[in-house]
Structure 1
Amino acid sequence: MIHYVIVEPLNGKLELPGAPPVYDVGELVPETRPELEGTAPMLYCAEHPDEQLPALREQAERDRAAGTPPVICAILESDKASTRLRRHLASRLLLPNPTEGASLFRFYDPRVFAHLRWILKPEQLGALMGPVTRWSYLDSAAGWVRLEGAKAPNEEFAITKEQYKQVTRIEIIERAVQILLGSGSSLEPGMPSLLDAQLAKGETYGLCGADLLAFALHGAVVSPYFDRHPRVRTVLQAPDKAPYAETVARWTQRDWEAIAHESIQYQ
């Protein structure tokens, strides 16, 4: 089994003090998007895993502790040729839009990959990973997570319209998760999915940006049904409504406790 590492050079420099340098396999540039050269992630081979893997994990943990974007995105294990692995991972950087076209897909970023585990079905995740036998990444809440690949992965990777929308919401879901973790809240396993449901609901009210983020957080910590409360509905349905986040920021803790208690009847 050969060890590889996906590195995001745009987030910083790969530094492995005291360990041999990793071997440069190449940049993950999709064949149909050559213009991405110079901005795509890099794939390296860790030929001396006993020395290199601890150093790679240490840098990833150091970046997480500093609150900086990850340089070490994933540590992979595969028994396939490096050229095949590189070609597969590069091809997955383009996410087919169920409607038309394709968009750039930063699936390798641990802040994205962590959410793909609940968005995608097992067979889809297997198709995404392809020839990867094991995929390890540093989760901001759970620490190091290792995922086993499929024994016979599908060659084709496709997602539904609903999954595509969920993928586009990952960035704001992750922002909400970090706010909850920063406030000392414990993160339940289903919290990202709950936040996504609240974001989808908030979009139906025409919310976006800071208002949408605030709405999702309230749906997660107050009540999933808080938007049915008369006081909240008044804000959301006002003809010339002021920004949601700005309006509800004036409410007290006692106000929110009352809304949470009274929203039980809307389940």
Structure 2
Amino acid sequence: MTTGFLLVEPATLAHVPDLAAFDMRACTPRVLAHREELMPRLIDLAALDWEGRRIATERWQEEPEVERPPAICAWIDSAVDADALAEHIARYLVGPGEDGQPVFWRYYDPRVLSLTLEVFDPTQLLALLGPVHEWCFAWAGHRWRIAGLGAEIVQPDDQPLGWPRPDQWPRINRSEIADRIRRRLPALSVDQAAQLPAALDQILCSAGGQDAMATDELVNDAVQRMRHAFLTE
């Protein structure tokens, strides 16, 4: 890998300590400038030397195989430079949640993005990607690619187009439960994994609202149903 950008999660950077020495560009919304150390970061592969690219490539190739929270959340091919891409990514980190109050949306995390892709319509997705030509991420043991338009000029007021609508938040907010279910499933083929977000979304939507005491029961039931579905394919 010699071009593009790696999007790194600082909270899990300890899992890939040899990336910590690389120069990174934080994707920081203005309202969170005082918490920049917690914001996702970009590594510009073109700016690394040969050894740096080798290390970055090896760590990226490991992501589908490891059972831990994502450290490298994406490889991104973009029409713009690191500063402009970081600004665009930051634009979608903070906005109104289900109740209208500001929330921090970790859409870049594959565990959230995989479910968001099932919820969003094509117009929303293209707005979210903005200047991205290609967004690749590791999830459920495989790599996935999303194609964008690579728009070089993204208007600052475009956020509403790529931000979840109020009626979509209940589905997107179930990503943590969806990940609990996924982690208890056996290794999936790429075809099975491709069906998983829709199946998870359907099961969780049919369950409706769940209180804390019912969550474990919901997860157990979903795991059994999905194991049976995949075994009988």
TM-score range, shorter chain: 0.7 to 0.9
CA apart distance, 1:34: 2.5
Give the 3 Å change call, closer, same or farther, for CA 162–218 of structure 1 in structure 2: farther
Overall identity of the aligned pairs, in %: 24
Q: How far apart in 2 are the matches of 1:190 and 1:162?
A: 23
Which residue of 184, 191, 198 maps to 2:196? 191
How many residue pairs were aligned? 218
> What TM-score does the superposition give when structure 1 sets the normalisation length?
0.69
Q: How far apart in 2 are the matches of 1:148 and 1:9?
A: 25
Which moves more between the two structures, 210-219 or 3-12?
210-219
Could you tell me which amino acid in structure 2 is paired with residue 56 of structure 1? A
Which moves more between the two structures, 164-173 or 154-163?
154-163
Mark the runs of 5 or more structure 1 residues left unpaired by the alignment. Answer: 224-267
Partner SS for 1:189 = helix
Q: How far apart in 1 are the matches of 2:109 and 2:210?
A: 30
Aligned 1:42-191 pairs, distance under 5 A: 42-47=41-46, 51=50, 55-141=55-141, 143-152=142-151, 155-156=158-159, 157-182=162-187, 187=192, 189-191=194-196
Q: Could you tell me whether the CA contact under 8 Å between 1:23 and 1:47 is conserved in 2?
A: no
Q: Cα RMSD (Å) of the superposition?
A: 3.2
> What TM-score does the superposition give when structure 2 sets the normalisation length?
0.77
1:36-76 Cα deviation digits (max 9, x unpaired): 22111111211158955554342134354341222211111
Which one has more relative contact order, counting CA pairs under 8 Å at least 6 apart? 2
1:99-152 Cα deviation digits (max 9, x unpaired): 4122111111122222222221121111111111111112223x2222211255
Could you tell me which amino acid in structure 2 is paired with residue 46 of structure 1? L
Larger Rg: 1 or 2? 1
CA apart distance, 1:166: 1.2
Mark the runs of 5 or more structure 2 residues left unpaired by the alignment. Answer: none
Which moves more between the two structures, 122-131 or 90-99?
90-99
Q: How far apart in 2 are the matches of 1:133 and 1:63?
A: 21
Could you tell me which amino acid in structure 1 is paired with residue 96 of structure 2? P
